[in-house]
Amino acid sequence: MTAQLSSMEAARSAVAVLVRGGVRDVVVAPGSRSAPLAYALAEAEARGEVRLHVRIDERVAGFTALGLSLGSLRPVPVVTTSGTAVGELLPAVMEANHAAVQLVVISADRPGELRGTGANQTTEQPGLFGSHVRYAADIPAGEDPAGTLAGGLLAARGLAAPDHQGAAGPVHINLAFRDPLFPAADDDGGTAAVPAVTAAAGSREMAVPAPVPGPGPEPSAAAGGSGRTVVVAGHGAGAYAEAFARSQALPLLAEPSSNARFGPNAVGPYRLLLDPLGAGIERVVVFGRPTLSRPVAALLARPDVQTALYLPGPVAWFRRGKRRERIITGPAELALFAGQGPAGWLQGWQRADRAADAALQAVLAGTPELTGFEAAAAVWAHTRGRLVLGSSNTIRDVDLAGRPQPDPQCTVYANRGLAGIDGTTATATGIALGTGGRTRALVGDLTFLHDAGGLLLGAGEAEPALQLVVLNDAGGGIFSLLEHGEVGTRPRYAAAVERLFGTPHQAGIAQLAAAYGLGYRLVEDRAQLEPVLKEEFTGRGIVEIRTDRSGLRRLHARVREAIWSAAGGQP
């Protein structure tokens, strides 16, 4: 067993090979899984060894790298996070293949053991580009990529298999990284681990625990044990999850795109309540695919918690044997496993929910500027028909601040298959056209800019009734809520974190609306929010809501502490 490298050690080894191999330009698209490479590349740029180019849209990043290679006649890497980000490179890779250009794809990946488990943003990346690359390699987490990457650079120069007649061309190096994905506090190239910082949603767990393959512990003989069960409704769960929770008198922890976030059992800010209340949970029943938050992932990975996944039909998002939950296909067995919530169990969660909401409202009332939480909660409350939620903070702000409705007010859609920020405008347009009904989308600014091309319709085609609500914090706010927010407080990395993760911009959303012929409204304060969201809309329009991500860490910390203190103790 070769010595295991930390993610930063592996990334630094990779960057050293790139520099020795003649690389002078690297294109980086923002992401968390690719963060070790971003930090190592920032270090190399600070040493004057490379020049970095940051591009939000990976398709743009791929063609930018293609152009840099054509111009410099050097191999040019393009670095992306995991998921659809890698797929966005295919057009540039195909062009590089047929034009014999030295494009070096370095795709970050989740560790191999997560493949096939349904873990967030995890797919099968090795071999993605097929015969379009001269060389492809999949490097497991912890392994030194140096030798493989050096071979990849040679292959890019044309020293590849004879079936390409020695022509230069693209290569694909898939590099898996395991948490932690950032340099240790005292790290000048060392490997000292540092205590994790509190992640985005205030969970005290740091990394998302890997789902443990195989069935979990045998359910106790007694039906449902103590009944101290919760129902988790993930993406695509459907309304039955709500009916089941209600029939069993169990708390319902429903993600926004579960289409089960309604009814008397639904708990609003469950992701933060899991910390003070989670210890009492003995069983979890899972509907759909939870992908949104680390506290839920941590709950499902707890060895003392028995979990069941309700699967009445086939699903594509995990491979058999790769998840720990017991698979249950029938409602009767599911009810037997879940048990009936004991007196006071649901009521305790409902009390905590009310206390948490009051605490959240108090924090927001004391915050002078309009926050993403308020905007998301207002969109959630005032949308009927169809709602499309963008990945990143928008769907998470609804998850925390969106009050469960008495009844389903709208059908919720989200590209949670791989949580990509690509193609969301085009997806929402397709939903509006496909359903023929009024549709609202709530997306972040990078998500919107990533798919600006989605604003262009075919000449003479019908205008769908689509309102794009863009939460514009002038960059990727979510990164400040992950571990990278803490790294960004260190003088050595502050500028790099803002450039490589915050990816600030001054893109004019009003000007984009005008360029594509859409209506445009700017919401600058709370007073404007509800009237604009309550207005009927026809055709396509953009509502821009500007928020400030510079104070996001502090706001989330205040919300977390307020909810934890309001809901402390066990139900």
Ligand X SMILES: Cc1ncc(C[n+]2csc(CCOP(=O)(O)OP(=O)(O)O)c2C)c(N)n1
| Phi, psi at 129, each rounded to 5° | -100, 5
Site string for ligand X, 372-391 (x = CB under 6 A): ------------------xx
Dist CA 104 CA 135 (whole Å): 10
Residue 484 in contact with ligand LVPVRBMU, rule: CB under 6 A: no
Q: Which residue has the tokens 């028995």?
A: 306
Structure-block tokens of residue 235: 């993406």
Which of 256, 241, 243 is closest to 440 using CA atoms? 256
Number of residues that bind Mg ion (CB under 5 A): 4
Element (H, E) at 469: strand 466-472
Judged by CB under 6 A, the chain residues 441 through 460 that form the site for ligand X are 444-447
Q: Considering only the stretches 13-21, 27-35, 38-46, 53-61, report the one whose residues sit in contact with ligand LVPVRBMU under the rule CB under 6 A.
A: 27-35
- Helix, strand or coil, per DSSP, at residue 104: strand
Quick note: the x/- pattern for ligand LVPVRBMU over 319-358, rule CB under 6 A, is: ----------------------------------------
As given in the structure block, the two tokens for residue 51 are 């020049």
Residue from 293, 383, 427, 503 in contact with ligand LVPVRBMU (CB under 6 A): 293
Does position 473 interact with ligand X (CB under 6 A)? The reply is yes
Selected range binding ligand X among 237-245, 273-281, 429-437, 439-447, rule: CB under 6 A: 439-447
Site for ligand LVPVRBMU (CB under 6 A): which residue of 478, 509, 555, 566? 478
> Binder to Mg ion among 142, 170, 341, 444 (CB under 5 A)?
444
**How is residue 501 annotated by DSSP?**
I
Q: Compute the distance between CA of residue 502 and CA of residue 135 in angstroms, rounded to an integer.
A: 32
Burial 487-508 (b: 16+ CB within 10 A, else e): bbeeeebeebbbbbbbbeeeee
SS3 content of the chain, % helix, strand, coil (to 5): 40, 15, 45
- To ligand LVPVRBMU, the closest distance from the beta carbon of 4 in angstroms equals 20
- Choose the one of ligand LVPVRBMU, Mg ion, ligand X, none that binds residue 84, judging by a C-beta under 5 to 8 angstroms depending on kind: ligand X
Neighbours of 390 (CB within 10 A): 30
How big is the site for ligand LVPVRBMU, counted in residues (CB under 6 A)? 16
Residue of 445, 451, 483, 486 that binds Mg ion (CB under 5 A): 445
Binding mask 389-418 for ligand LVPVRBMU (x = CB under 6 A): -------x----------------------
Instruction: Give dist(CA 258, CA 300) in Å, integer.
Output: 17
Check if the beta carbon of residue 464 is closer than 8 Å to that of residue 493: no
CB of 484 to ligand X, least distance (A): 11
Q: Which is nearer to ligand X, 258 or 480 (CB)?
A: 480
Say if residues 371 and 396 touch (Cβ distance below 8 Å): no
- Contact, 255 vs 261, CB < 8 A? yes
Residue closer to ligand LVPVRBMU by CB (options 83, 339) is 83
Question: Is there binding between residue 478 and ligand X (CB under 6 A)?
Answer: yes
Q: Which of 114, 419, 482, 555 binds ligand X (CB under 6 A)?
A: 419
From candidates 6, 7, 81, 439, binder to ligand X by CB under 6 A = 81
Work out what residue 203 binds among ligand X, Mg ion, ligand LVPVRBMU, none; the CB cut-off runs from 5 to 8 Å by kind: ligand LVPVRBMU
- Determine the Cα–Cα distance for residues 544 and 563; give it in Å rounded to an integer: 29
Token digits for 425? Answer: 């405008």
394 binds ligand X (CB under 6 A): yes
Site string for Mg ion, 461-490 (x = CB under 5 A): ------------x---x-------------
Query: Distance between alpha carbon 121 and the CA centroid of its chain, in Å?
Result: 7
- Of the pair 410, 470, the CB lying nearest ligand X is at 470
Residues 12-41 that bind ligand X (CB under 6 A): 29-31
- Pick what 199 binds: ligand X, Mg ion, ligand LVPVRBMU, none; C-beta below 5 to 8 Å, kind-dependent: ligand LVPVRBMU
Q: How far apart are CA 182 and CA 40, in angstroms?
A: 10
Q: Which one of the spans 17-25, 58-66, 287-295, 558-566 is the region binding ligand LVPVRBMU (CB under 6 A)?
A: 287-295
Q: Which parts of 115-174 interact with ligand LVPVRBMU (CB under 6 A)?
A: 120-121
Question: What residues form DSSP beta bridges with 307?
Answer: 284
**Which residue's CB is nearer to ligand LVPVRBMU, number 52 or number 94?**
52
Per DSSP, 517 falls in state: T
What DSSP string describes 530-554? HHHHHS---SEEEEEEE--GGGHHH
DSSP for 7-72 reads: HHHHHHHHHHHHHHTT--EEEE---STTHHHHHHHHHHHHTTS-EEEE-SSHHHHHHHHHHHHHHH
User: Which distant-in-sequence residues (6+ apart) come within 8 Å of 403 by Cβ?
Assistant: 268, 357, 377, 380, 381
The residue from 201, 266, 286, 412 that contacts ligand LVPVRBMU (CB under 6 A) is 201
Query: Does the protein bind ligand X through residue 83 (CB under 6 A)?
Result: yes
Residues that bind Mg ion in the complex, under the rule CB under 5 A: 444-445, 473, 477
Residues that bind ligand X in the complex, under the rule CB under 6 A: 29-31, 58, 81, 83-85, 88, 390-394, 419-422, 444-447, 473, 476-478
Residues that bind ligand LVPVRBMU in the complex, under the rule CB under 6 A: 31-33, 81, 120-121, 199-201, 203, 208, 292-294, 396, 478
